């Protein structure tokens, strides 16, 4: 999704140059709680993919990595957008699928956020600039439906257990739910004045958590009643993730360049871990409990041990890392927007996490 700039100027004025995939020294390193020798010891591979990468999602059913790509930053129009199917082991682009035009105004129905529904073999994406979400077939890449009325739809998450898809509507301060079988809207939770961005679901309980970028808090939605709970967190929370046991929530705080650790029982921030300027995306490794944070303006991935409250490893990336996701078997995929490939492509990275130490 288009970068939110409300506070990021406090973190850094511009991105640094392309970094090699090796030991990293980054701007602001002295401010981060990094263990001595916390350099990239993890197996890492990278490859040029396509231009305009945004987010990725892994399909266990199809053993496929899917990514969204859209070229054209506001206020410029989108000049191209597509879904990308990628080999998760080699990072080879296997196929790309075009997206349709918006029937209302003829603009490209550009794709940004993404998640997979392996139960129904579909892909759900956000069309942020068209105020809608869309559904595609994983089997063929065919466009199945566009669902309007989601103002600046940003992130999207599938709860397969409950046949429900949740998405954040940044433009209207809402969290919207759809039936993953019928594609019908089933719920709409509004929090006045909020700006929800990141999103995650507790697969065990069905509770929904959204980061409210506008008011530095987490919005928790009860799966039974739809009631909301507002929980304070760090400065400019753009992305959100849960601990493996669901008792702790983490936010990537773009304004502060930190990862906040929030106890869901008490609603208190128990730690604020400096990671790097422009913390943008994060994901939990469910096997080790560690959290990977993409730092957009201090290019790299911080591997955080939330119990210790420290960055224990740093992996260098290209100049503009944008998104990270971690599979159940401990592989992380990072997408960047550096256009540093030989033909101006953005890069994809594959990081083997092991089981932690």
Give mean pLDDT, residues 314-320.
Answer: 95
Of 34-38, 115-119, 126-130, 224-228, the one with minimum mean pLDDT is 34-38
Residue 274 lies inside a defined structural domain of this protein: yes
Task: Look at residue 74 in the predicted model and tell me its pLDDT.
Answer: 85
Alpha carbon 81 to chain centroid, angstroms: 18
In this structure, the number of other CB atoms found within 10 A of the CB of residue 340 comes to 18
- What is the C-alpha to C-alpha distance for residues 228 and 174, in angstroms, rounded to an integer? 11
Task: Give the position of tokens 């030989």.
Answer: 342
Residue 100 lies inside a defined structural domain of this protein: yes
pLDDT tens figures, 166-194: 999 999 999 999 999 999 999 999 999 99
Of 37-51, 147-161, 210-224, the one with minimum mean pLDDT is 37-51
- What is the C-alpha to C-alpha distance for residues 185 and 182, in angstroms, rounded to an integer? 9
In this structure, what is the dihedral angle of CA atoms 75, 81, 83, 86, given to the nearest 10 degrees?
Answer: -90
Residue 140 lies inside a defined structural domain of this protein: yes
pLDDT tens figures, 259-313: 999 999 999 999 999 999 999 999 999 999 999 999 999 999 999 999 999 999 9
Burial class, 16, CB count within 10 angstroms (exposed 0-12 / middle 13-18 / buried 19+): middle
Give mean pLDDT, residues 252-261.
Answer: 98
Burial class, 31, CB count within 10 angstroms (exposed 0-12 / middle 13-18 / buried 19+): middle
Residue 111 lies inside a defined structural domain of this protein: yes
Task: Give the position of tokens 């068209």.
Answer: 130
Residue 113 lies inside a defined structural domain of this protein: yes
**SS3 call for 62:** coil
Residue 68 lies inside a defined structural domain of this protein: yes
pLDDT tens figures, 102-114: 988 899 999 999 9
Query: Helix, strand, coil % (nearest 5) of the chain?
Result: 5, 50, 50
Residue 317: give the domain boundaries. Answer: 8-352
CA angle 352, 355, 357 (to 5 degrees): 115
Confidence (pTM):
0.90
* pLDDT top residue among 6 and 210: 210
Residue 19 lies inside a defined structural domain of this protein: yes
What order do you get walking across the sheet with 268-274 strand by strand?
237-242, 248-253, 258-263, 268-274
Residue 275 token pair: 């990671």
Closest CA to 117 of 54, 161, 67: 161
Task: Look at residue 25 in the predicted model and tell me its pLDDT.
Answer: 30
> Where residue 355 falls among pLDDT bands split at 50, 70, 90?
low
Closest CA to 195 of 1, 12, 326, 14: 1
Q: What CATH number does the domain containing 101 carry? A: 2.130.10.10
Task: Look at residue 29 in the predicted model and tell me its pLDDT.
Answer: 34
- Residue 6: pLDDT above 70? no
Task: Look at residue 35 in the predicted model and tell me its pLDDT.
Answer: 55
**How far from each other are the two terminal CA atoms of the chain, in whole angstroms?**
34
Task: Look at residue 104 in the predicted model and tell me its pLDDT.
Answer: 86
Give mean pLDDT, residues 24-46.
Answer: 57
Task: Look at residue 331 in the predicted model and tell me its pLDDT.
Answer: 98
What stretch of H or E contains 237? Answer: strand 237-242
Task: Look at residue 354 in the predicted model and tell me its pLDDT.
Answer: 82
- What is the C-alpha to C-alpha distance for residues 224 and 275, in angstroms, rounded to an integer? 36
Percentage of the chain modeled with pLDDT above 90? 85
Residue 189 lies inside a defined structural domain of this protein: yes
- What is the C-alpha to C-alpha distance for residues 216 and 143, in angstroms, rounded to an integer? 36
State the total domains in the chain: 1
């Amino acid at each position: 999704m288009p970068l939110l700039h409300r506070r990021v100027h406090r973190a850094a004025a511009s991105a640094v140059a392309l970094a090699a995939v090796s030991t990293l020294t980054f701007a602001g390193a002295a401010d981060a709680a990094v263990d001595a020798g916390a350099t990239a010891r993890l197996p890492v591979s990278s490859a040029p993919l396509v231009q305009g990468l945004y987010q990725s999602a892994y399909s266990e059913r199809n053993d496929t990595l899917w990514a969204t790509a859209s070229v054209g930053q506001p206020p410029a129009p989108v000049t191209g957008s597509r879904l990308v199917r990628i080999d998760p082991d080699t990072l080879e682009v296997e196929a790309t699928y075009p997206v349709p035009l918006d029937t209302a105004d003829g603009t490209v129905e550009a794709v940004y956020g993404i998640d997979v529904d392996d139960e129904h073999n579909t892909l759900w994406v956000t069309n942020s600039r068209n105020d809608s979400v869309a559904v595609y077939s994983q089997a063929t890449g065919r466009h199945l439906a566009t669902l309007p009325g989601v103002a600046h739809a940003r992130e999207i998450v599938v709860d397969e257990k409950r046949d429900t898809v949740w998405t954040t509507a940044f433009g209207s301060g809402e969290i919207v739910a759809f039936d993953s079988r019928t594609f019908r809207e089933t719920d709409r939770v509004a929090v006045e004045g909020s700006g929800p961005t990141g999103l995650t679901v507790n697969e065990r309980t069905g509770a929904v958590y959204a980061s409210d970028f506008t008011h530095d808090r987490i919005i928790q939605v009860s799966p039974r009643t739809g009631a909301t709970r507002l929980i304070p967190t760090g400065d400019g929370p753009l992305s959100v993730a849960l601990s493996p046991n669901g008792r702790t929530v983490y936010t990537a705080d773009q304004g502060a360049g930190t990862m906040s650790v929030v106890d869901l029982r008490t609603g208190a921030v128990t730690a604020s871990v400096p990671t790097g300027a422009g913390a943008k995306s994060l994901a939990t490794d469910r096997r080790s409990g560690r959290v990977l944070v993409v730092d957009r303006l201090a290019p790299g991935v911080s591997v955080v041990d939330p119990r210790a409250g420290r960055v224990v490893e740093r992996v260098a990336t290209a100049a503009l890392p944008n998104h990270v996701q971690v599979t159940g078997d401990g592989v992380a995929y990072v997408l960047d927007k550096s256009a540093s490939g030989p033909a101006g492509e953005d890069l994809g990275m594959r990081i083997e996490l092991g089981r932690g130490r």
